[in-house]
Amino acid sequence: MRSVSVDLNHDASLLIDIPDALCERDKVKFTVHTKTTLSSFQKPEFSVPRQHEDFIWLHDTLVETEDYAGLIIPPAPPKPDFESPREKMHKLGEGEATMTKDEYTKMKQELEAEYLAVFKKTVQVHEVFLQRLSSHPTLSKDRNFQIFLEYDQDLSVRRKNAKEMFGGFFKNMVKSADEVLISGIKEVDDFFEQEKTFLLDYYSKIKDSTAKAEKMTRAHKNIADDYIHVSATLNSLSADDSTANKNRYLSSSVSLQKVEGRVASDQELKLTELLRYYMRDIQAAKDLLYRRARALADYENSNKALDKARLKSKDIPQAEEHQQHCLQKFDKLSESGKKELTSFKGRRVVAFRKNLIEMAELEIKHAKVSSTLQPTCVRLFVYS
């Protein structure tokens, strides 16, 4: 169970996972594997290759579907980012001449581990996205979702062409104007009023925490790297040392760097990822609020229009119909929105709990390991 989210992939009627992925230069090819008992699918079990852009297409399609306006659309997985390890690998290659062979090997191993961690993370985050969809009662039935899972040809034909992209971009632009709209709206419903206040505040706080957590993790990684260099130099120092302190220096410095490296990556995985994920999720919840506020604005506008029509005694039935339509939309949004936000709360709390527990347990585990390693090192030193 490596994901930050919980309660996913339990429903046997539709099980999705990403069992493996290939990394080709910039592109990652995910293998999406589905097992289902639903008759809506052609086969009970199948796999398709998908790229990151396919996931984005699916996400955007769902966002733009009016029927889902009252739902929290799971946040799109971020683009796989191998920039950091790749840059480091490049620097390492350049600096190879200045390092000892041992140092170079260790640095390379560290980098490979980092690369692997980024890889695992991106697979996980893409997998979670699909699992969120499959465990949602409404979204799991979406036609495009089905196509995504099943269609065994390349999806690029269906992906956004330039015009659609512009449309999406336009929608994003309008949305930010909606943020002003949201805060200005007079909320009649207590629940939504509270949610609005809470989510807006929480979002800014969690965004801040995510950034600070990332900085902390980076500093930890720097220290781990430093220990590699220190241990390498210590080793070459004791290579000349006739009193053969070599093994002692070696073992102690290795234990040091291992601990620092492990702590850094665990912290990254549990805490930072948790924060990052929920930052995006809260953004998705906010989007729901915006859509609802928009619907409310529309409804209010339609009321005004109806009044105007009544005054002018012109086009009253259209205006009435329009008003009804807006009201229905708004009510539907409010109803499903309430459900979604309530379950979101529960989901968030459970996810935090799980990850905080795991993080604490890992910190304890690593500290215990190193505190058994170190007396051994001390003993080795004493008996020189």
Partner 1 sequence: MAASSDRNPPPFPATEEPGAGPSDMADGDSDEGEDIFSNPVAVSRGVSQPDRVNEEPPDLFSEEEEASSTPAKSNGVHSDEDNDLFAEAHVELSTDKPGSSDRKELSSSSGLRPASSFTQSPAAMQPTSLEQLEEDEAKDSFDVDVAVTNPEKVGDGMNAYVAYKVSTRTSLPMFRSKAFTVRRRYSDFLGLYEKLSVKQSLLGCIIPPPPEKSVVGMTKVKVGMDDPSSVEFVERRRAALERYLQRVVSHPSLLQDPDVREFLEREELPRAVSTQALSGAGFLKMINKASDAVNKMTIKMNESDTWFEDKFQEVENEEQQLRKLHALVDSLVNHRKELCGNTAVFAKSMAMLGNSEDNTALSRALSQLAEVEDKMEQLHQEQAASDFFIFEELLADYIRLLGAMRGCFDQRMRAWQRWQEAQSTLQKKREAEAKLLWANKPDKLQQAKDEITEWEARVTQYERDFDRVGMTVRKEVLRFEKEKAKDFKSQIIKYLEAMLQSQQRLIKFWEAFLPEAKAIA
Nearest to 250 by CA among 121, 109, 373: 373
The CA radius of gyration of the chain, in Å to the nearest whole number, is 27
Structure tokens at 364: 């304890």
Query: Using CB under 8 A, which of 116, 174, 219, 316 touches partner 1?
Result: 219
Nearest approach in angstroms of CB 187 to partner 1 is 17
Contact yes or no for 290/175 (Cβ under 8 A): yes
Does 245 sit near partner 1 (CB under 8 A)? yes
Does 304 sit near partner 1 (CB under 8 A)? no
Tell me which H or E stretch contains 54. helix 52-63
Nearest approach in angstroms of CB 114 to partner 1 is 17
Integer Cα distance of 214 and 200 in angstroms: 22
Integer Cα distance of 47 and 21 in angstroms: 12
Does 223 sit near partner 1 (CB under 8 A)? yes
Structure tokens at 369: 């390991």
Nearest to 231 by CA among 325, 99, 338, 140: 99
Does 188 sit near partner 1 (CB under 8 A)? no
* Residue 7: exposure state from Cβ atoms within 10 A (0-12, 13-18, ≥19): middle
Query: Using CB under 8 A, which of 208, 321, 331, 335 touches partner 1?
Result: 208
Does 317 sit near partner 1 (CB under 8 A)? no
Does 141 sit near partner 1 (CB under 8 A)? no
Query: Using CB under 8 A, which of 3, 252, 334, 336 touches partner 1?
Result: 252
| Residue that the structure tokens 């205006």 belong to | 319
Nearest approach in angstroms of CB 39 to partner 1 is 39
Contact yes or no for 206/275 (Cβ under 8 A): yes
Query: Using CB under 8 A, which of 156, 236, 324, 343 touches partner 1?
Result: 236
Nearest approach in angstroms of CB 245 to partner 1 is 8
**3-state SS class at 378:** helix
- Between 339 and 378, how does the x/- string for binding to partner 1 read (CB under 8 A)? ------x---x--xx--xx--xx-xx--xx-xx--xx-xx
Query: Using CB under 8 A, which of 38, 147, 177, 237 touches partner 1?
Result: 237
N-to-C CA span, the chain: 46
Contact yes or no for 279/207 (Cβ under 8 A): yes
How would you list the strands of the sheet with 27-36, edge to edge? 14-24, 27-36, 45-51
Query: Using CB under 8 A, which of 234, 254, 295, 309 touches partner 1?
Result: 234
Residue 32 vs 256, nearer CB to partner 1: 256
Integer Cα distance of 6 and 128 in angstroms: 9
Query: Using CB under 8 A, which of 32, 76, 213, 289 touches partner 1?
Result: 213
Does 233 sit near partner 1 (CB under 8 A)? yes
Residues lying near partner 1 in the complex (CB under 8 A): 198, 201-202, 205-206, 208-209, 212-213, 215-216, 218-220, 222-223, 226-227, 229-230, 233-234, 236-237, 240, 243, 245, 249, 252, 256, 259, 345, 349, 352-353, 356-357, 360-361, 363-364, 367-368, 370-371, 374-375, 377-379, 381-382, 384
